[in-house]
Amino acid sequence: MSLGEALSMLDAEERVTGRINYTLNIEAPAMLAGKILRSPLPHARIVRIDPGRAQRLTGVGAVLTRADFGPHTGYSGRYGRIFRDQTVLALDKVRFVGDPVAAVAASDEDTALEALSLIDIEYEELPAVFDESEALQPAAPLVHDPRPEQQPIFSKMIEDLPGGTNLCSHFKLRRGDIELGFHQADFVFEDTFRSPAAQHVPLEPHVTVAVYGRQKLTLWTSTQMPHAIRAQMAELLNLPLARVRVIVETLGGGFGSKGSLRLEPITAFLALKAQRPVKIILSREEEFVTVCKHPATICVKTGVMKDGTLVARQVNAYFNTGAYSDIGPVVARNGGSAMSGPYRIPHVWIDSRAVWTNIVPAGALRGFGVPQAVWAYESQMDMIAERLGFDPLEFRQKNLLRDHDVFATGEELTDIHFHDLLEQAAASIGWSPEDVRWLNRDRTRAKDKTRRRGKGVAMVIKATITPSTSAAALKLNEDGSLNVLTSSVECGQGAKTVLAQIAADAMHLPVSRVSVSDPDTDLTPYDQQTSSSRTTYSMGGAIREAASDLKRQLLDCAAEHLEVSVTDLIIEDAKVIVRGTPRRSLTYGEITRLSNQGNLFGRGAFTTRGGLDLQTGQGIGSVHWHQGAIGCEVEVDIETGKITILRLTPCVFAGRVVNLRLCELQLEGCAIFGLGQALFEEMSYGEHGQLLNPNLSDYNVPSFADIPPKINASALEHAGSEELHGIGETLLPPVMAAIGNAVYNAVGVRLQELPLTAEKLLREIHRQHSTNDFPLSRRARE
Amino acid sequence: MRASRSDADHGGTSAEAPPSGDELKGNSMKQIVKLKVNGVEDEKAVQTHHTLLEVLRSEYKLFGAREGCGIGMCGACTVLLDGQPMSSCILLAVLAQGKEITTIEGLSDPGKLHPIQQAFIDHNAFQCSYCTPGFILSTKSLLAENPNPTGEQVRSYLAGNLCRCGSYYKIEEAVLDAALRLRDQKGNR
């Protein structure tokens, strides 16, 4: 059976021969190369732009500036998924170092770059604000004034707020009676944690090719959201949806960066103005100023009883969404709604805010607000365990959610597996209470005087976007083979292979008879987006629906031709068979030909329902909850502060695994992605808001040199379940806290701000040495 | 505060008149170079400031080498130069003259797969696969130098190729498997 088979990707041969097509390879006749001029200042009014010299340069097809937008042109140039706070190019002012100000399309990249250098711009610098806490001070400069207009479709999800502040959004969750909870608690602990801005670094940069002709815009673009791009581009260009076509080739990684509009508006308007196809490829340096992970400051206050029962939690979270909100308010909401963690807490009060500042806009990044949240609450779980002298494993077990518990959102949970996941994670690192620093009274265990080992665990509960909609169509051909028409984007997660397996399984066909399309909004049905670990579940669900529709048609048509009742027919091995009379049968191909319809089409849609109340955060937060636990063992060199990861053991609840090989790749990928954010990934800003490390020399991502010898990933299945859980993100969020907890058990140093660099750790080791008896390296050598 | 400036990154201030386009055009020079790519030698007129990667992609339409970082840090643009892995994004095309240039497209005959490629398929040693040609070419060079590497040697040799999707464990398995296949092949000959 195709479901559960550990297949290699169906397009593997194209991938290893270098022939697979990325948007990077797309070329159109007479195509121009586009380049973008960016702001050197974090916040400034644009006094004057003179593109004259650039326009006169030989080879320049179009120069785009703010003069191309506004009432006189018919194009507002304003867009944004939640707030219309972004513009194709800066109109009145620039809001961060890197904000696009002008763009050029020219015969080649060299000419386009020359042209950029000939554009003269005069700025009037304005005071800027970079930190999310400072941005909310009354005297802080306003990034957006007046407050940008909110998109009506988000009015039920994100509360509109008054202007005159940098507060972009404010998610509230209210459950129980928080004052009563803290009053009841024997102990109350309050701790603050911080995560920095980090990069997605898909190795393929953002690329867009725009062709405008016969009043139709065609875009080849590296996006995870073809239909959302189509809708927003249609709005920007005043075109009906049918006249915007978005085609997506396989992506060279996305990790959330390739959602929302990125290069599409600039490329399309250049193509419109030049009346020639235009292609823009971002350089790595430009990637860094396009979108990032939200820096976040999160204060967690937790009330706990003497016996270790959690009773209350209050959270104040600030997500720095940078100059433009993108999907930031939903990131803050998603991170916020999960901050009670996988624990039973009767009284919960959460305020999670997105804040505008003058740094690089932040958006979706694998985990979607939950990595920042888990870093805070799972670090604090260990801190509380130590203060009260508990084994951190037992402390968690005592409070973990079980089936039929009510979550902080008020919804009753089912299919909950946290106890099993924690047990698995702990067992796979060989956990024992002896590994807990504060329970282990024999400190002489360290075998090596300068290198210390420690173990830690962390857990995660994460929503998948709810409500959401996917649609699929199945086209059955006259030879009985099947085309799956879907707008799910292949970004390396193996969507096309997994969806082929689901379709083959539902239609009783071998995978070799199934082909899955690339997204093309002219041809493939609607899908909300390829994100939120939703494709296997949602698009898989739509395909199963479409298969039911198609099988119904096959049965009806076969019944007519075999002159039997539908109830006498069964489907097996790509055939419709009369029950008990195997010789009386019709193949799919025969039925398709007999139908006289050319093709048979099955249609299916899969919609989930839910949502949270604006004032209380109560409702359905997720159609089902993604669950995970991870164990970690580290070795810390106390002479250098260097952390070596010895073991990482991501354990996920998968419902039913469709393809174990691809599932393992996702789990290992999550663990390694998290390892980078835990140990070294951080976008560093200078005092004027300029990014200091926008390249892969100064900003490191994990290589073979950074990873543990092995990652023991495991996927927990629910026997007998057909429910598929997405697993593409779940195990990233807990990696940072698991490593932090392991480091604490190794050396007794707790860092509350990521990343856990050697420098920071060493400083803390030295600081502790000056205040207690921590054996420092020099003494150790004596 | 009031500041007037052109974008510093792109040079030129309003005080000094920028050179006209034609003057700038005069600065870019083309040179005829003899390049031997995947066994075929021919002459190309290339801009002297263009990298081998730019020339492979724009002149030869060989799309297997890809830019990831532009500064020789990620390995996605790896090609073999006389059998040695090189970042083609930081090598000027004119400097590749007289060398045997091998790209992923030249690793095996059309329709056939090199044992390394087959091992990468069998272990699904990739996710988005943007980095895969670079890893495979680096592996080719590793196994030419060391036909029987340990896991540690594989990791150390391939530490200059980045896989952001984190397929490293499957890559290591594939490389060790490919080494075995190549040794078997040699033994059988």
pLDDT digits (tens, 9 = 90+) for A278-305: 999 999 999 999 999 999 999 999 999 9
DSSP label at residue A670: H
Chain B (18-77) residues lying within 8 Å, Cβ to Cβ, of chain A:
18, 20-22, 24-25, 28, 47, 62-71, 73-74, 76
Closest residue to B130, CB basis, from A17, A252, A671: A252
The domain defined by A12-126+200-288 carries CATH number 3.90.1170.50: yes
- B155 neighbourhood in chain A, CB within 8 Å: 704-705
CB atoms A665 and B165 under 8 Å: yes
**B151–chain A nearest CA distance, Å:** 9
Burial B117-137 (b: 16+ CB within 10 A, else e): bbbbbbbbbbbbbbbbbbbbb
Closest residue to A40, CB basis, from B8, B70, B107: B8
Question: What does the alpha-carbon distance between residue A762 and residue A506 come to, in Å, rounded to a whole number?
Answer: 56
Domains A296-464+616-781 and A468-608 alike in fold: yes
- A695 neighbourhood in chain B, CB within 8 Å: 69-71, 73
Residue A779 confidence (pLDDT): 38
Closest residue to B129, CB basis, from A122, A492, A710: A492
Question: What does the alpha-carbon distance between residue B83 and residue B94 come to, in Å, rounded to a whole number?
Answer: 18
Count Cβ atoms within 10 A of the Cβ of residue B17 and give its class: 0-12 exposed, 13-18 middle, 19 or more buried: exposed
How many CB atoms neighbour CB A238 within 10 A?
10
**A240–chain B nearest CA distance, Å:** 33
B105 touching A, CB under 8 A? Answer: yes
Beta-carbon contacts below 8 Å between A and B:
220
What does pTM read for this prediction? 0.95
pLDDT digits (tens, 9 = 90+) for A546-556: 999 999 999 99
Inform me whether the pLDDT recorded for A430 exceeds 50: yes
* Segment A193-207 mean pLDDT: 98
Fold annotation for A468-608: Aldehyde Oxidoreductase; domain 4 (3.30.365)
Closest residue to B127, CB basis, from A38, A121, A669: A669
pLDDT band with cut points at 50, 70 and 90 for residue B127: very high
**Contact indicator for A197, A98 with CB cutoff of 8 Å:** no
- A253 neighbourhood in chain B, CB within 8 Å: 127-128, 130, 164-165
Give percent helix, percent strand, percent coil of chain A, each to the nearest 5: 30, 25, 45
Residue A89 confidence (pLDDT): 98
- A671 neighbourhood in chain B, CB within 8 Å: 166
Closest residue to A672, CB basis, from B14, B122, B168: B168
**Which residues are CB-contacts of A444 (< 8 A; sequence separation ≥ 6)?**
none
What average pLDDT does chain A have? 96
Chain B: residue nearest A204 by CA? Answer: B68
B106 touching A, CB under 8 A? Answer: no
What average pLDDT does chain B have? 89
- A21 neighbourhood in chain B, CB within 8 Å: 63
pLDDT digits (tens, 9 = 90+) for B40-54: 999 999 999 999 999
Q: Which of A521, A523, A509, A383 is nearest to A458 (CA)?
A: A383
Torsion of the alpha carbons at A693, A697, A702 and A707, rounded to the nearest 10: -130
Residue A215 confidence (pLDDT): 84
pLDDT digits (tens, 9 = 90+) for B47-102: 999 999 999 999 999 999 999 999 999 999 999 999 999 999 999 999 999 999 99
- B1 neighbourhood in chain A, CB within 8 Å: 124-125
CB atoms A117 and B69 under 8 Å: no
pLDDT digits (tens, 9 = 90+) for B102-125: 999 999 998 899 999 999 999 999
CB atoms B14 and A120 under 8 Å: yes
Residue B16 confidence (pLDDT): 43
Residue B15 confidence (pLDDT): 40
pLDDT band with cut points at 50, 70 and 90 for residue A718: confident
Question: What does the alpha-carbon distance between residue A363 and residue A260 come to, in Å, rounded to a whole number?
Answer: 9
CB atoms B129 and A16 under 8 Å: yes
**Which residues are CB-contacts of A432 (< 8 A; sequence separation ≥ 6)?**
none
pLDDT band with cut points at 50, 70 and 90 for residue B13: very low
- The token pair at A233 is 């581009």
CB atoms B64 and A19 under 8 Å: yes
Chain B: residue nearest A494 by CA? Answer: B127
* Segment B4-24 mean pLDDT: 39
Q: Answer whether the bond into residue A148 is a cis peptide, omega within 30°.
A: no
Chain A: residue nearest B54 by CA? Answer: A109
**A606–chain B nearest CA distance, Å:** 26
Closest residue to B164, CB basis, from A17, A22, A202: A202
Residue A100 confidence (pLDDT): 98
A156 or A695, which is more confident? A695
How many CB atoms neighbour CB B40 within 10 A?
10
Residue A213 confidence (pLDDT): 86
**B113–chain A nearest CA distance, Å:** 8
CB atoms B169 and A710 under 8 Å: yes
- What are A552's strand-pairing partners? none
pLDDT digits (tens, 9 = 90+) for A104-120: 999 999 999 999 999 99
Residue A1 confidence (pLDDT): 59
Closest residue to B9, CB basis, from A40, A123, A672: A40
- What are A595's strand-pairing partners? none
- B16 neighbourhood in chain A, CB within 8 Å: none
Q: Which helix (H) or strand (E) holds A570?
A: strand A569-572
- A690 neighbourhood in chain B, CB within 8 Å: none
Count Cβ atoms within 10 A of the Cβ of residue A768 and give its class: 0-12 exposed, 13-18 middle, 19 or more buried: middle
Closest residue to A203, CB basis, from B131, B159, B170: B131
What is the DSSP annotation of B34-88?
Answer: EEEETTEEEEEEEETT-BHHHHHHHTS---SS--SSSSSSS-TTEEEETTEEEET
Residue B17 confidence (pLDDT): 45
pLDDT digits (tens, 9 = 90+) for A723-738: 899 999 999 999 999 9
- B22 neighbourhood in chain A, CB within 8 Å: 58
Q: How far out from the chain centre does Cα A636 lie? A: 30
Residue B6 confidence (pLDDT): 33
Domains in chain B, CATH or no CATH each = 30-104 (3.10.20.30), 115-188 (1.10.150.120)
Residue A429 confidence (pLDDT): 97
Closest residue to B162, CB basis, from A59, A664, A703: A703
- What are A527's strand-pairing partners? A470
Question: What does the alpha-carbon distance between residue A562 and residue B65 come to, in Å, rounded to a whole number?
Answer: 56
Q: Which of A188, A221, A192, A191 is nearest to A204 (CA)?
A: A221
Pick the CATH number of A296-464+616-781 from 3.30.450.20, 3.40.50.10490, 3.30.365.10, 3.40.50.720: 3.30.365.10
The angle formed by the CA atoms of residues A508, A510 and A511, to the nearest 5 degrees, is 115
- A110 neighbourhood in chain B, CB within 8 Å: 28, 47
Domains of chain A by residue range: 12-126+200-288, 296-464+616-781, 468-608
Question: What does the alpha-carbon distance between residue A329 and residue A369 come to, in Å, rounded to a whole number?
Answer: 10
Residue A624 confidence (pLDDT): 96
Closest residue to B6, CB basis, from A59, A121, A671: A121
CB atoms B10 and A13 under 8 Å: no
- A8 neighbourhood in chain B, CB within 8 Å: 121-124
Residue A565 confidence (pLDDT): 97
pLDDT band with cut points at 50, 70 and 90 for residue B23: very low
Question: What does the alpha-carbon distance between residue A472 and residue A603 come to, in Å, rounded to a whole number?
Answer: 6
- B15 neighbourhood in chain A, CB within 8 Å: none
**B86–chain A nearest CA distance, Å:** 17
pLDDT > 90 fraction of chain B, expressed in percent and rounded: 81
- B167 neighbourhood in chain A, CB within 8 Å: 665, 668-669
Question: What does the alpha-carbon distance between residue A652 and residue A422 come to, in Å, rounded to a whole number?
Answer: 10
pLDDT band with cut points at 50, 70 and 90 for residue A770: confident
- B164 neighbourhood in chain A, CB within 8 Å: 201-203, 253, 255, 673, 701
Inform me whether the pLDDT recorded for A234 exceeds 90: yes
* Segment A636-661 mean pLDDT: 97
Residue A519 confidence (pLDDT): 98
B1 touching A, CB under 8 A? Answer: yes
pLDDT digits (tens, 9 = 90+) for A433-483: 999 999 986 655 556 779 999 999 999 999 999 999 999 999 999 999 999
CB atoms B166 and A673 under 8 Å: yes
Closest residue to A665, CB basis, from B121, B124, B136: B124
Q: How far out from the chain centre does Cα B62 lie? A: 11
Inform me whether the pLDDT recorded for B14 exceeds 70: no
CB atoms B167 and A665 under 8 Å: yes
